[in-house]
Structure 1
Amino acid sequence: MLSAPPKEPGAPVSRERLRLRGVVQGVGMRPFVFGLAERFGLAGSVRNDAEGVLIEAEGSAIEAFVAALRENAPPLARIDAVERTVLVPTGERGFAIVASVGGRAATLVPADAATCTACLDELFDPASRFHLYPFVNCTHCGPRYTITRRVPYDRPNTAMAGFAMCPACAAAYENPRDRRFHAEPVACPVCGPQLSHSAGEIAAAIRAGRIVALKGIGGFHLMCDATDEAVVAELRRRKRRDAKPFAVMVANAASLALFAAPGAAHLALAETPARPIVLMPLRGDGERLAPSVAPSLAQVGLVLPYAPVHHLLFHALLGCPDGRAWREAPHPVALVATSANPGGEPLVVDDADARRRLAGIADLIVGHGRPIVVRADDSVMTVIDGAPAFVRRARGVVPDPVDLGRDGPCVLALGAHLKATVCVTRGREAFVSQHVGDLDTAETVTFYRETIAHLTAILDVTPEGVACDLHPDYRSTRLAEELGPPVVRVQHHAAHVAAVAAEHGVPGPVLGVALDGHGIGETDGQPGGNWGGELIEVDGAGWRRLGHLAPLALPGGDRAAREPWRMAVAALAAIGRAGEAACRFPAVTIAGALAARIDGAPVTTSLGRLFDAAAGLLGVRTHQAHEGQAAMELEALCGAPRTLAHGFVLADGVLDFAPLLAALADCDDARAGAALFHGTLIAGLGAWIGEAAQARDHRTVALGGGCLMNRVLAEGLAADLRGRGLVPLLARKLPPNDGGLSLGQAVMARAAMASASAAAGGSQ
């Protein structure tokens, strides 16, 4: 609550210029400032410009005004700094909102935000001019980043530039006392975009067992009845998505418990303005959702409606109830809401493109006239170790920056080949893009280039250097070599550690582990080797490998990542039992022959491949339909982890799980084996890290890499390290997988460039 203005009879009048930095545009800051100035009896003005919000204020209560600015900012705002300059009073009267000015951008565009309660009330109020209008929004909600072409965030610079406001919308837009003052996407049925089909038509199609492609905020969703196994299975067939889980949208927070067993942290996360997909434990009965939604998994990704059209769709599916009670009551209606991107291509965002690319998947395609400037998948989050963690970072969160703590050169970091993102640094901040995806198709590479161009443009920067992975065959690496600025190559696993350390504001040297599926190593300054279970110390641009998992054969190279039976054969060979391969995998005709020549295979230190080996030995999976499937199913089988006595060997920094693999080879109970694998893995990793931390005098440990998305592993390892007196750092602001890699690359490249600059200066 705002306190009453202080009574200061006879207080001296002063005048100040106040610069607000942070997320201060597109969030209702100017009308908030206007109202606050009136409340405190101040004269002056407020405007948007390229650096944020600029205020000139004159009066006797400026101190109280500044305190109220900080304490009561609009819900979507984030004030990072208030810079104050004393001016000479002019005797000005009245306070005004003045026209924005351009210039070199130094401000932020806010992320997209879910429909607020006030707009929902209008959406379902028959007396409102926004009644049942699927694009209702205000300064506290609606699309932001996905409709913004450039800054400042004003309507001509957004996807709404082509929609002239009607008199009613224009009056609200120009009234500083209205909730829609300078709400750039403001529109109504008279003047705004329209859906190609009504909510009633969409609902009828879904009730009839049809698949709908629905255009939303960041792109199209493919939607169908998530409780109907036949239609969900048909969606899998049409989309060529054999097993990767689908996200499910439910009507409201009260409905989540009908399909999952959410904890308080899951519920809080699901209701944030970002409205991410939240991974939650499935209900014990698991009967409400079609089995094909999340096959063989113990959790499901649930998301709440975040665009007005979603609320209208559920309203129609529920029979168009009156009043407000239905909005808070549990409903057994659930919709698959998966990204509309056929065959590994990027998310579809354009109506004409949807008709071309989705015609063979969707029975009904629903578009609208508002362009999507920035395609953005739904963010995916989970709860690990009691706090939110990202699986995929995109809509609703991007472009929120990571504070690096100090200024540095502008760097463009290009990430890896899988789960690609890009990162651009500006001053002391790092901006990581939305999830782009795997750079396997020409369409995704085009999207990747678009993302680079848009992010550098909206930040108004020219990179001084480009960071990339060591792997010479990644498309991201090849692009780095084409762009022009000097290229800084950063080792994959060092970047994982650097990313986690950077988001926690921990300077080097820092001890970390990078636990993932694959990244090219480096020996004697030359890239090479298949790494993925690495103990690393990172300090600025430098890093040192302190240890690794014992190597396993990688029979078939990249094919081993898709066929866990191959890693199981490698595990059998490691324990001297390669001769068992043929009888263990009778359906794989080449298993025996592969085992006979395994000595000539390349090797890997990857923890991801160790997961595959365990899954293969336990009969969980011989082939994978998507990355990480075997590991995810193994985690789903794990109840309470158990530790195998003497299940690992630690010597000279090498952690060998051969005794554990031997036990798994003799285990005929997959659930017991999963518990034994996870528990022994945690104990071994904890001992390994603890020994290095003591030897190198570290107390903080950064935990990075895609394997840390495994909740059992991440929570168990964090608890083990705390028990050893160490402080574990888990990824929170970015995914621990390759989706966060670009941040680590950017941080290490900035350090390398700063060191090179200092050296050059010292030699002159």
Structure 2
Amino acid sequence: MRIKYKINGIVQGVGFRPTVYKIATSLNLTGYVLNSSDGVIIEIEGENQDKFIDELKKNLPPLAKIDSIEKEIFPKAGYKTFEIKESKNSDKTTSISPDICVCDDCLKEMYDKNNKRYLFPFINCTNCGPRYTIIENIPYDRKNTSMKKFKMCDSCYREYTNPLERRYHAEPTCCYECGPSLNVKWRMENGKWKNIDFNKEIEKIEFIANKIKDGKIVAIKGLGGFHLVCDATNENAVSELRSRKKRPSKPFAIMFKNIESIKEYCEINENDEKLILSKEKPIVIVKKKRELPGIAPNIGKYGVFLPYTPVHFLLFDFLDFPIVATSANISNDPIIRDSNELIQKLGNVVDFILDNNRDIVNACDDSVIQGVKDTFITMRLSRGYAPKSFALKKNIKPNILAVGANQKNTITLAFKDKMILSPHIGDLGTIDSIEYFERTIETFRRLYDFKEDIIICDKHPYYESTKWAKKQNKEVIEIQHHFSHALSGLFEFDLKEALVFAWDGTGLGDDGAIWGGEVFVVNRSGYERVHHFKYFKLIGGEKAVKNPANMAVALLNDDLAKNYSNHKIALALKNGNFPLTSSVGRIFDIAAFLSGMIEKNEYEGYSGMLIEKYYNPLIKDFIDLEIDREIDFYPLIEFVARNRGKFELVSSVFLNTLTNLIKKISKNYNLPVLLTGGVFQNTTLLSLIDNVYFNQTIPVNDGGISVGQAAYGIWNL
């Protein structure tokens, strides 16, 4: 008999076919393997057929992931050999591999003086390198990537066509003779840009390294876009970057040469180290040990990561200090992927540019994660992890496009037996970010030959994603923001029902108020709002997010309010016509202001990071809040105001009180407990609570909203 398999998942461009070839030939099987647009097709004949799938599962390539295997049995065809056939097109459902850090085998070759790719800055193989960022279409063949303009030399082609080679059908395969090249640009005194010529690629990297040593600000092209780079130990350089980029205090990510140098500056545990060293090489939020002035002012954590491209590794051959490596973009805009755009938008920020002529088709920012206990939460899902595919238990109809929220936007497609979450798109607050949102939708439509039947969006009428959805002449379903948060958790952990604490900064509620301190009983089709934080006025509207002073003082009685310089204006505004909110995110801001930690919120999440910084685990005190349908948190706010200046006490009691509240409410319901929403990016809060679910591989913040929206469609349409 002949067995035909159709295997779906991340099975293209990851060395899957050569692995199949090696296993089939070792078992003396005949037949073929080929890539198609809806997966990998395998036909086998021979006595050892029954051993094939077990051997394949045991020997999967590092980047491969099987979502489904379909098996059919046919009469024998009489194959004489086993071969790898050319790709063929059909329905596009196969998953695209994310971009991955350069592998150890490639690094070994890169530092081998006898290797043709010695010090080659674009070295890669089947097990590493660019994927999503260079792909224009699937199947994942070179002609469908930005590598198509580089014709392979004979030597590379032999590797590319040999099933026993590590570079078999590794589409970015190249070398000095046939691959991309670096180029260096210099901003002259007259403001014009000039290319600088060098004889060797490594000389270009050494030149840029020397400019970083000199305190200059450079832009370096990575896998998914440019980084702005300077010496992280040079306070003047960091200050100059902040001044030029108009980014007064938001933390910068830092790239270190190796894990040992991270340990010099940071306190990391075993879980942190595992995340930092993982093949995805995300930015990992860890605790500070040594202060690097200007990098992350006032807060207690750094975002750190390791080199992940050959260029990064070669750069650190000339540097013995960590570097700032922050996304090159204008605030709230997507990461810049083209040097012409970089010069146009940030030409006055950088002194030199290290560019290359391999085009970035799809921009992709760095992922950001944070360790919690022995797992992690995802704060930004992007390079290394996205696009992220999920196998569904059955085929679905109709095709669903979920367009997410307004902040930390992502989109999600659901079709056939698959759900696909896009990389981080960002806040839809600028023209460029909205264009990027629309471009990402078009990219995913093209890659998967996808046409949505239904669009699912947030209920907020002013979200740009919602406005876009309503212009498409398609059926549109609107889902309440916090219900979407809850559904993302139910989907991730395959729960049918849960008690959900959905705490964040903002989301339009069913009653027109701004929700954000919700406790729901949720199932896959609906929810009951069983508790919420008592409404308070968002004095100043959206401006209260950055300037919580009047909102905070208006909550106090006169005796406490008079201790604050703005008490008269807060009193005058107390009865004003402002939106009502239950937002726990805003309660964090109120506590940070009333305690004296902040005068204003420098950036999103700042107050939460300060409260986390000052938390003392030895302080066990808390305020035992009454549990009614409306949770009156005023006793906690009064405690904060009465203990102004006592940062450790205030922070510890504040977080202990929220922890106690979650535990107390949870005891009243015989249900799994799920924590979701941006407030639960606070890992101290998460670590104080046991036996609960919280989003991990799906972003815990608004980056997970599109998954919850799509899940609603999968379960209910």
**Would the aligned equivalents of 2:551 and 2:570 in 1 still touch at CA under 8 Å?**
no
| Secondary structure in structure 2 of the residue aligned to 1:511 | strand
Is 2:673 the counterpart of 1:701? Answer: yes
- Counterparts of 1:332-371 in structure 2, within 5 Å, are 333-371=321-359
Amino acid at match of 1:276: P
2:648 is the counterpart of 1:659? no
SS at match of 1:649: coil
Q: Residue 759 of structure 1 corresponds to which residue in structure 2?
A: none
Match of 1:419, as an amino acid? K
TM-score with structure 1 setting the length = 0.89
Task: Summarize deviations over 1:305-345 as a string: whole Å, max 9, x none.
Answer: 11100001001225xxxxxxxxxxxxxx2011100002322
- Contact 1:641–1:678 under 8 Å retained in 2: no
**1:472-499 deviation line (CA, Å, top 9, x unaligned):** 1111110000122201000011111111
Q: Is there any run of 5+ residues in structure 1 with no aligned partner, and where?
A: 1-13, 319-332, 723-727, 755-764
Whole-Å Cα distance in 2 between the matches of residues 608 and 641 of structure 1?
A: 25
- Partner SS for 1:557: coil
Partner of 2:514: 530
Q: In percent, how many aligned pairs have the same letter?
A: 36
Distance in 1, matches of 2:131 and 2:653, equals 47
Using a 3 Å threshold, how does the CA distance of structure 1 residues 642 and 650 change in structure 2: closer, same or farther?
A: farther
Greater shift in the superposed pair: 203-212 or 33-42: 33-42
- Paired with 1:641 and 1:463, the residues of 2 have a C-alpha distance of 53
Task: Give 1:548's aligned residue.
Answer: 532
SS in 1 for 2:516: strand
In the TM superposition, what whole-angstrom CA distance separates every residue of 1:32-71 from its partner, at most 9, and x where no partner exists? 1111122111111111001111111111111222211111
Deviation at 1:510, TM superposition (A): 2.7
* 1:624 corresponds to 2:624: no
Match of 1:305 among 304, 307, 330: 307
Partner residue of 1:596 out of 563, 566, 572: 572
Partner of 1:296: 298
- Relative distance call for 1:545 and 1:293 in structure 2 (3 A) is same
Q: Deviations over 1:522-562 (max 9, x none)?
A: 03xxxx11110001122233222111011222111111111
1:580 deviates by 4.5
Instruction: Tell me, in whole angstroms, the C-alpha distance in 2 between the residues paired with 1:136 and 1:741.
Output: 37
State the 1:214 CA deviation: 0.4
Instruction: State the SS of the aligned residue for 2:570.
Output: helix
Amino acid of the residue matched to residue 699 of structure 1?
L
1:641 CA drift (Å)? 6.7
Q: Which has the higher mean CA deviation after the structures are superposed, 65-74 or 401-410? A: 401-410
Determine the C-alpha separation between the residues in 2 that align with 1:427 and 1:252: 43
The alignment status of 1:487 with 2:463, answered yes or no, reads no
Q: Which moved more, 1:594-603 or 1:101-110?
A: 594-603
Rounded Cα–Cα distance in structure 2 between residues aligned with 1:545 and 1:490:
15
Q: Does 1:266 align with 2:242?
A: no
Deviation at 1:511, TM superposition (A): 2.2
CA distance in 1 between counterparts of 2:162 and 2:597 reads: 63
Alignment match, 1:96? 83
CA–CA distance in structure 2, aligned partners of residues 361 and 42 of structure 1 = 60
The more displaced of 420-429 and 114-123 is: 420-429
Question: For the residues of structure 2 that align with 1:625 and 1:58, how far apart are their CA atoms?
Answer: 65
Q: 1:713 corresponds to which residue?
A: 685
User: What is the alpha-carbon distance in structure 2 between the residues aligned to residue 405 and residue 636 of structure 1?
Assistant: 43
Q: 1:234 aligns with which of 226, 236, 240?
A: 240
- The DSSP-based 3-state class of the residue aligned with 2:115 is coil
By how many angstroms is 1:676 displaced? Answer: 1.1
Instruction: Confirm whether residue 248 of structure 1 aligns to residue 236 of structure 2.
Output: no
Aligned residue-pair number: 695
Match in the other structure for 1:571: 555
Partner of 2:27: 40
Give the partner amino acid of 2:587: L
Distance between the aligned counterparts of 1:645 and 1:670, measured in 2? 15
**Matching residue within 699, 712, 715 for 1:748:** 712
Equivalent positions of 1:611-690 (< 5 A) are: 611-640=588-617, 642=619, 644=621, 646-651=623-628, 653-667=629-643, 668-690=645-667
Deviations 1:556-602 (A, max 9, x none): 11111111223321331xxx23x644541x3x5xx412223302343
1:559 counterpart residue number:
543
Contact residue 643 and residue 680 of structure 1 kept, 8 A: no
Look up the equivalent residue of 1:195 and give its one-letter code: L
The answer to whether residue 509 in structure 2 is matched with residue 521 in structure 1 is yes
- Code of the aligned partner of 2:331: G
How far apart are the structure 1 equivalents of 2:311 and 2:428? 32
Contact 1:520/1:530, CA 8 A, preserved across alignment = yes
Cα displacement string for residues 695-742 of structure 1 (whole angstroms, at most 9, x for unaligned residues): xxx3212211100000111222x32xx3xxxxx111011111111111
2: CA distance between counterparts of 1:689 and 1:406?
A: 33
Contact 2:615 2:648 (C-alpha < 8 Å) held by counterparts: yes
What do residues 681-702 of structure 1 show as CA deviations (whole Å, max 9, x unaligned)? 21123213332x1xxxx32122
Residue pair 1:655, 1:688 contacting (<8 A) in 2 also: no
Residue matched to 2:189: none
- Contact in 1 for aligned 2:621/2:652 (Cα 8 Å): no
Superposed displacement of residue 233, structure 1: 1.2
Q: C-alpha distance in 2, partners of 1:90/1:499?
A: 46
Contact 1:468 1:480 in 2 (8 A): yes
Residue of structure 1 in register with 2:187 after alignment:
none
CA distance in 2, matches of 1:645, 1:565: 24
- The secondary structure found in structure 1 opposite 2:107 is helix
Query: Which residue of structure 2 lines up, in the alignment, with residue 122 of structure 1?
Result: 109
For residue 120 of structure 1, report the CA deviation from its aligned partner. 0.2
